[in-house]
Structure 1
Amino acid sequence: MAALRSDWLVCHVVLRGGGYKADINESSAEKQAREDIRQGLLSFAVPVKHHPDKFVVGCGTNILIIKWDSSTHAGSCRHYFLKSPHQPPHDPLPEGNRVSFGTVDSSEKLWFATTNDNPEYSTLNLGSVYYLDQNTILEKKISALPSVTGGFVGDHTFTEGSEHSPPDRIYYADTLNHEIIGYDVTIEHGSLFLERREVVFNFLQHGVRGSPGRIAIDTGGSLWVPLLGGGGVIEFNPIQQRVVQFIRIPAAQVGACTFGGHNWETLYVSTIRYEFKEPHGQRPPRDKGGHLYAIHGLGVRGVPTSEYILNKRVLFEAFAFLDNYRPNYRRRRDSTVRGSSGEGNSGTL
């Protein structure tokens, strides 16, 4: 197990990892990036298909497209507003809610969740999961989740097929209730539905200390669960409902897991500096929170990450701003190009 210092955005280090998760460690570079973007905390980054220098990121309450060369250490980057789950006056986000985990499914669509940072609302069910398609049409798929939401993964990823495809499954990390919950995924008449099935893993019942962070899944269907407050990562078999192994990490707060590296055989684990979660607490002796760890030799492979595909007109509008050029295509009269404080229209060529 190797350790890397996460002095700046974790997504820079594990850009080839599953889920492209960016864990929040409040490093100096992250503060700089937050000040430059002025949108809030960075939560995730996913690649845009066929455009290696473009990423869709969750930032504060917004979904943005950024232009970023991962080979350079840039303190800021150009960004373009894409969408927001904050939809006043009909569906505004509750006070304190922001975008949290995000990932791309096998049909190359974006899924993301919201979480709430206000400790006074921790007992309320203010979390939601959203679905954003290629045309930036936003749908709320799960609502009334606990206010602090963890990550979610698909078992062999989401699938699309016939009108009545067999149910697939996603696993959601319920951080506040110390559980992992399974949802069935079905497609009927072209519409996708999620239905809660069962609690597949309860930390207390299994004698596991801590809460689940952002989970990962391997090609065999095992879940790799970071333990917030538990000082490690567990491999959990959701079919057999048993803990296969525990990997100790020298940090109390283990925030996220993602697969990457050659053949997706390396598990990257990000940790959080103790003071980030406990501003008035004392760092435990020899706590190494704030580092990123790479774990080799597990004998498993992670599920490869999908890239987000966007409608061509959406891309043209965004790239016109990000790259300072005007694409050579006939624009509709009602289309607009808006930059850092605006929203681009979507359409079909």
Structure 2
Amino acid sequence: MTTAKAIASSRDRVGECPVWSVAENALYWVDIEGRQIRRWSPASDAVQSWTLPERVGCIALTPAVGRIVAAMETGVYVVQLGEAPAVQLDCLVAVTHPAPGMRFNDGRCDAQGRFWISTMVMDMGLASPLGGLYCLDEIGLSPARLDGLITPNGLAFSPDGATAYVSDSHPSVQKIWAFDFDAVSGELARRRLFVDMLPLPGRPDGAAVDAEGCYWICANDAGLVHRFDPQGQLLASLEVPVAKPSMCAFGGANLDVLYVASIQPGTVDPAAPGLNGAVFALQPGVRGLPEPVFSRFPMSL
């Protein structure tokens, strides 16, 4: 395993949702509070950035290069990325949150092309359990498939598509759950505790699954990325040189690089030098799987 290295000079306020595009050999991610979508290509070692009108919690690739689906504050949008900073937005579906001050947060596509996205109250200090997990497909945005969540995160699917994972990052919860997943219907069943992270360092944030079926999750506040086997046993903890890693994703030409986004602590001046808010790359010794793309566009389009 190699030491984590920052891939670019960009620094995000709340870096999240790294997604590797196999078609472009490039990494996309977002800066939620900076309202940015970013793209980095290892070939050019250059970062492109596009500014959006709202906070963007998560993104998904589509079959069309340069067309991204973004879950934001008021809805889910198709984002056409032109030559940076040119960008065009079209609303796929609007959302009515159960309370003011909410936005979409974590998200990921399943292998069937659905986009699973969660919501949260932005002020985590309220510890408000109004967050939920939703599914976007050709029918539109579903009612909440899960509710009662404070800071939902950790969305991932096992390589065989039979298990789904969800976490709650809030300090009062810090749990990861597993579900039986019906790939045909998209139904979740048999919720059970996968990992209780309260006894472990860090809070469970964003996640990924490797080709061996092990679950990787960023341990926010601990500067670690944990790897758990399919039974929830801790196998390894990899260090990153910042306190707040936020979400990880496999990428690179051989899908053997683990990319890790990070957050700038609120107590640190954003202009201060250092690596807080950087995206890191490390080679964990295992490969990931290609990230599914969103292909189940609502029939109303």
Q: Decide: shared fold, TM above 0.5.
A: yes
Residue in 2 that maps onto 1:342: none
* Identity level (%): 21
CA contact (8 A) 1:64 1:83 kept: yes
Residue in 1 that maps onto 2:91: 81
Report how far residue 93 of structure 1 moved. Answer: 3.0
Larger Rg: 1
Distance 1:47 1:29, change over 3 A: closer
Question: Does residue 263 of structure 2 align to residue 290 of structure 1?
Answer: no
Q: Which amino acid aligns with 1:204?
A: L
Report how far residue 21 of structure 1 moved. Answer: 6.7
Question: Does residue 72 of structure 2 align to residue 59 of structure 1?
Answer: yes
Residue in 2 that maps onto 1:169: 163
Residue in 1 that maps onto 2:180: 184
Residue in 1 that maps onto 2:42: none
Residue in 2 that maps onto 1:300: 286
Residue in 1 that maps onto 2:227: 235
Residue in 1 that maps onto 2:112: 107
In 2: Cα distance, 1:13 partner to 1:104 partner: 13
In 2: Cα distance, 1:215 partner to 1:97 partner: 22
Q: Deviations over 1:102-123 (max 9, x none)?
A: 211111121111111124531x
Report how far residue 151 of structure 1 moved. Answer: 2.7
CA contact (8 A) 2:15 2:246 kept: no
Question: Does residue 123 of structure 2 align to residue 131 of structure 1?
Answer: no
Residue in 2 that maps onto 1:245: 236
CA contact (8 A) 2:135 2:145 kept: no
Report how far residue 6 of structure 1 moved. Answer: 2.9
Which protein has the bigger strand share?
2
CA contact (8 A) 1:250 1:287 kept: no
Q: Unmatched 5+ residue regions in structure 2?
A: 38-48
In 1: Cα distance, 2:163 partner to 2:89 partner: 34
In 1: Cα distance, 2:28 partner to 2:117 partner: 11
Q: Deviations over 1:216-242 (max 9, x none)?
A: 100111111111101111111131x32
Report how far residue 66 of structure 1 moved. Answer: 1.1
In 1: Cα distance, 2:28 partner to 2:191 partner: 26
CA contact (8 A) 2:17 2:206 kept: no
Report how far residue 76 of structure 1 moved. Answer: 4.2
Residue in 2 that maps onto 1:165: none
Distance 1:130 1:59, change over 3 A: same
Q: Does 1 or 2 have the higher relative contact order (CA < 8 Å, sep 6+)?
A: 2
SS at 1:57 equivalent: strand
Q: Deviations over 1:174-204 (max 9, x none)?
A: 11211111111236xx643212431111123
Matched length: 280
Question: Does residue 81 of structure 2 align to residue 46 of structure 1?
Answer: no
CA contact (8 A) 1:271 1:292 kept: yes
Report how far residue 129 of structure 1 moved. Answer: 1.0
In 2: Cα distance, 1:12 partner to 1:201 partner: 21
Residue in 2 that maps onto 1:140: 143
Question: Does residue 248 of structure 2 align to residue 257 of structure 1?
Answer: yes
Distance 1:29 1:99, change over 3 A: closer
CA contact (8 A) 2:33 2:55 kept: no
Q: 2:153 aligns with which of 150, 154, 158?
A: 150
CA contact (8 A) 1:7 1:28 kept: no
In 1: Cα distance, 2:241 partner to 2:291 partner: 27
Report how far residue 214 of structure 1 moved. Answer: 0.6
Q: Deviations over 1:104-158 (max 9, x none)?
A: 1111121111111124531x3211111111x252213523232211131011263
Residue in 2 that maps onto 1:221: 213
**Alpha-carbon RMSD:** 3.1
Which protein has the bigger helix share?
1
Q: Which amino acid aligns with 2:143?
A: K
Question: Does residue 55 of structure 2 align to residue 68 of structure 1?
Answer: no
